[in-house]
Amino acid sequence: MKEINIQAPATIANLVCGFDVLGLCLDKPYDLMKVKLLDERKVIIRSEDGYPLPTEPTQNTAGAPLLEILSETNLTIGFEVTINKQIKPGSGIGSSAASAAGAVFAANCLMGNIYSKNDLVRLAMFGEKVASGVKHADNIAPCIFGGITLIRSIFPLDIVSISAPPLIITLVHPQIEVRTSDARQILRKEVLLKDAIRQWGNIAGLVAGLMKGDYELIGRSLEDVIIEPVRSMLIPGFDEVKELCKQAGALGGGISGSGPSIFMMSRDLQTASQVEKIMQDLYFKLDIPHHTYITTINPNGISVQNDDHFP
């Protein structure tokens, strides 16, 4: 193979209480990427849809991981990456992770699958460092592994796939930008022990609830007493939309990644549709342009697409 088309899905990081350790892969939206093998050691970045992506590979979340592949191999190859960016940067649903993970996944396919999934996560984290200044895997891991993932450790990398019952996920993306790097800078550097204990209980409860298929336990555990109280101040209407959605029957939810997107989990499509209307009505009232999605968990992660899937 000399080129490949792939679909790199959006992801939700943190899942409310699991800051930097939990992530979920979404069925939609997704980026479309075409990666071609070159016969010289260089990386070329192109934007298929005209979105102003950085074309300098060291400054691009897809380019940096590919440069790392070239630096640790002695193969005389390079890569040309064309991206149709449907997950906009700053949306809070894994835009940088989709580019980074999609690039290394595609390159690995073209190179004969010489890397494991853990290796792909390790490489893709170089892209996340470009975006936020920090290597983190809570978006990368679910994008590559699919489903819900727990990052037990980054050094050494230890990723655990978490089973889950059927869940319908409703997302609203207010059209404001919250940069991941900025959202990290406002976080408290110290945490009270009582808050840490409560958070640990919620993380353990959420993982147990997902694996047992216990919707009530999932709902009780979707609580964040450390990150959300600070970051929610950056998102207009956050508290109101969360409360109204829970009153409508949603299990719970919160900030997707660093925001501004907000997600809510529901047991069924009817509830998820009611939640979507609540989100739309609120942001219409606030006069903030927005996009909404009703989607599910993507169990497979990145997928290879036929030529006719790429515009």
Please choose, from the candidates 159, 149, 90, 128, the residue with its C-alpha nearest in 3D space to the C-alpha of residue 301: 149
Q: Which DSSP symbol is given to 79?
A: E
Q: Is 180 a catalytic residue?
A: yes
- Using CA atoms, how far residue 29 sits from 16, 53, 95, 259, in Å, is 20, 18, 10, 16
Catalytic one among 11, 61, 82, 128?
A: 128
Furthest CA-CA distance within the chain: 58
State the Cα torsion 86-102-144-128 to the nearest 10°: -80
At residue 252's C-alpha, the angle toward residues 246 and 253, to 5°, is 120
- In three-state secondary structure terms, 272 is helix
C-alpha 44/C-alpha 57 separation (Å) is 7
152 Cβ contact partners less than 8 Å away, ≥ 6 residues apart: 21, 158, 159, 160
> 82 vs 28, 111, 254, CA distance in Å?
20, 18, 33
* 128: annotated active-site residue: yes
Catalytic residue among 180, 228, 271, 276: 180
Which of 86, 80, 82 shows the shortest CA–CA distance to 47? 82
At 257 the three-state DSSP class reads coil
Instruction: Pull the structure tokens for residue 186.
Output: 């406002």
8 A C-beta contact, residue 170 and residue 279: yes
Query: Which residue has 């580019």 as its token pair?
Result: 99
Task: Report which of 181, 250, 299 is spatially closest to residue 16, judged by C-alpha positions.
Answer: 250
Q: Which residue has the tokens 């691009």?
A: 60
Active-site annotation, residues: 128, 180
